[in-house]
């Protein structure tokens, strides 16, 4: 039986509707495959690499910027002793209260990033008998605390520091130390730690604001292989590196003490 014109028109319409439905289904499946069956994040929404922050004017949360880095190993009380305008800190960390073995790292504060290491970890030595929170003359312990670094000097010529440098034969040293090691050359370069001294004077100045009983003459100097009388000793090359790196405009400081004291 031959189809009539009306039946042909009806069949063509049905085929067209079927094709349209098939194309719509294929398009939906393809879009689902591309999106992984997930809704795209709303504008301003937190991603896996950010945290939701305060709402923006349009009501959408904004990502929170990372907090500036702190100096590792320093607790809140110790961090509070570092000057707000200080941008260089030498951190000297002792093994324990009665140990004369320690390590030193120079840190620099960078805008927006916080504190970052500006040196490797340097081996160092402190007072022969360790550390003290109340240093007195002759206790053979290094004072615990945070101090400014303002003046340098030594027997040898200025190695290239920005700090005021006092060259004088008075820094000639001889004899042997507690463990029998020779002390010659230990004061070829020195950096005065502003404990019980007047900043702005030469490291060899004998002025003592707290009185002579509280000791003084506490320096960073070239190490001689053993504990000191209260100073901090660094390897010769590291001492030169430190002096060349410190900048007056950075208002350098030193934080020093046993590890458990610095974490407070």
- Among 88, 42, 67, 61, which Cα is nearest to 191's? 88
Location of structure tokens 């941008």? 87
- Higher local confidence (pLDDT), 66 or 52: 66
Instruction: Tell me what pLDDT residue 67 has.
Output: 86
Round to whole Å and give the CA distance between 146 and 234: 18
pLDDT band at residue 56 under the 50/70/90 scheme: low
Instruction: Tell me what pLDDT residue 27 has.
Output: 42
Instruction: Tell me what pLDDT residue 23 has.
Output: 36
For the segment 98-153, what is each residue's pLDDT rounded down to a tens digit? 999 999 999 999 999 999 999 999 999 999 999 999 999 999 999 999 999 999 99
Q: 76: which 2 tokens?
A: 């809140």
pTM of the model: 0.76
Round to whole Å and give the CA distance between 199 and 134: 20
Helix (H) and strand (E) counts for the chain?
4, 14
Q: 160: which 2 tokens?
A: 């290239």
For the segment 9-52, what is each residue's pLDDT rounded down to a tens digit? 444 444 444 444 433 443 443 444 444 444 444 433 333 333 44
For the segment 138-184, what is each residue's pLDDT rounded down to a tens digit? 999 999 999 999 999 999 999 999 999 999 999 999 999 998 999 99
Q: Average the pLDDT over 69-98 and give the result.
A: 98
Which residues have a catalytic role annotated?
221, 231
Location of structure tokens 């110790």? 78
For the segment 183-224, what is each residue's pLDDT rounded down to a tens digit? 999 999 999 999 999 999 999 999 999 999 999 999 999 999
Instruction: Tell me what pLDDT residue 60 has.
Output: 58
Instruction: Write the DSSP assignment of 86-150 as a string of letters.
Output: --EEEEEEESSTT--EEEEEEEEEETTTEEEE-S-PEEEE-BTT-EESS--TTS--EEPEEEEEE
DSSP label at residue 214: G
């Amino acid at each position: 039986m031959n189809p009539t014109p009306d039946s042909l028109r009806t069949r063509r319409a049905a085929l067209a509707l079927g094709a349209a439905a098939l194309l719509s289904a294929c398009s939906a499946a393809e879009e689902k495959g591309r999106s992984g069956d997930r809704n795209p994040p709303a504008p301003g929404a937190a991603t896996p690499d950010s945290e939701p922050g305060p709402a923006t004017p349009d009501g959408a949360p904004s990502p929170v910027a990372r907090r500036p880095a702190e100096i590792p190993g320093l607790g809140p009380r110790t961090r509070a002793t570092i000057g707000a305008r200080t941008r260089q800190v030498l951190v000297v960390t002792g093994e324990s209260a009665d140990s004369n073995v320690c390590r030193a790292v120079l840190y620099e504060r960078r805008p927006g990033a916080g504190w970052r290491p500006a040196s490797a970890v340097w081996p160092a030595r402190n007072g022969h008998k360790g550390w003290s929170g109340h240093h007195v003359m002759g206790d053979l312990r290094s004072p615990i605390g945070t101090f400014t670094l303002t003046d340098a000097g030594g027997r040898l010529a200025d190695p290239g520091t920005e700090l005021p440098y006092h060259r004088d034969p008075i820094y000639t040293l001889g004899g042997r130390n507690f463990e029998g090691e020779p002390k010659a050359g230990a004061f070829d370069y020195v950096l005065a730690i502003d404990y019980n001294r007047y900043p702005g004077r030469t490291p060899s100045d004998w002025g003592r604001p707290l009185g002579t009983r509280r000791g003084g003459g506490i320096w960073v100097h070239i190490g001689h292989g053993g504990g000191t009388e209260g100073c901090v000793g660094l390897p010769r090359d590291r001492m030169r590196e430190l002096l060349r790196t410190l900048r007056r405009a950075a208002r350098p400081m030193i934080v020093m003490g046993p590890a458990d004291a610095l974490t407070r």
